[in-house]
Chain A
Amino acid sequence: GQNIDQPTEMTATEGAIVQINCTYQTSGFNGLFWYQQHAGEAPTFLSYNVLDGLEEKGRFSSFLSRSKGYSYLLLKELQMKDSASYLCAVNRGSTLGRLYFGRGTQLTVWP
């Protein structure tokens, strides 16, 4: 399989910081996406990393290390509305059309 691994569940409290890790097989790697999915809704785009390093977008940051096959999504100043599933997806093709998804990390934020 594609062996995209991420933790199944995580919990945190409001205002805290949480890091969601994702590891993947490096062969054919051509970019990594993070998506947020609330229950019963479609995934929404959070970030895209194709080069090593940290990309910051407001409260959310995403990091990539291509040589290690590793990425993380960092969520700061957690809010209740951040409770959702976070999906890591790897692109291995020449187009963006075929993404390989991890099973998702269900994050619960407690008051």
Chain B
Amino acid sequence: KAGVTQTPRYLIKTRGQQVTLSCSPISGHRSVSWYQQTPGQGLQFLFEYFSETQRNKGNFPGRFSGRQFSNSRSEMNVSTLELGDSALYLCASWVRDNEQFFGPGTRLTVL
């Protein structure tokens, strides 16, 4: 069974640009969460989606948005990029109440 996949794996952007990251959960998983990981702040929650509905949103500015499609794939978008948005963006999916699987992440660098 394929794991959680994320594309692209690496991305370099400049300040002011926008970026879209994609996540495909494990087949059969309908729940997806996004996290931002930085050396200074660690892993911080961004969004949670289930059946195309956002169930939870973390404490990030409105420049961060996301959505989920009917096939459970999810995207997140960051507009007007800032240097501080440089991070590893991780997507996780689950179906049972005791295991959550992370994708390899997208490493975003903002110059």
Residues of chain A whose beta carbon lies under 8 Å from any beta carbon of chain B: 33, 35, 41-45, 48, 50, 87, 89, 93, 95-104
Main secondary structure of the interface of A (DSSP, over half): loop
- CB of B52 to closest CB in A, whole Å: 14
Residues of chain B whose beta carbon lies under 8 Å from any beta carbon of chain A: 4, 31, 33, 35, 42-45, 48-50, 55-56, 58, 90, 94, 97-105
What chain A residues lie within 8 Å of B58 (beta carbons)? 98
Given contacts A42-B104, A42-B105, A87-B43, contact A97 B50 (CB under 8 A): yes
Question: Is the pair A97, B101 in contact by a Cβ cutoff of 8 Å?
Answer: no
Given contacts A97-B33, A100-B45, contact A48 B99 (CB under 8 A): yes
| Contact among A33, A48, A97, A102 for B31, CB-based, below 8 A | A97
* Cα-based distance from A44 to B90 in the complex (angstroms): 12
Given contacts A97-B50, A98-B56, contact A48 B98 (CB under 8 A): yes
What chain A residues lie within 8 Å of B33 (beta carbons)? 97-99
Given contacts A42-B105, A43-B102, contact A101 B48 (CB under 8 A): no
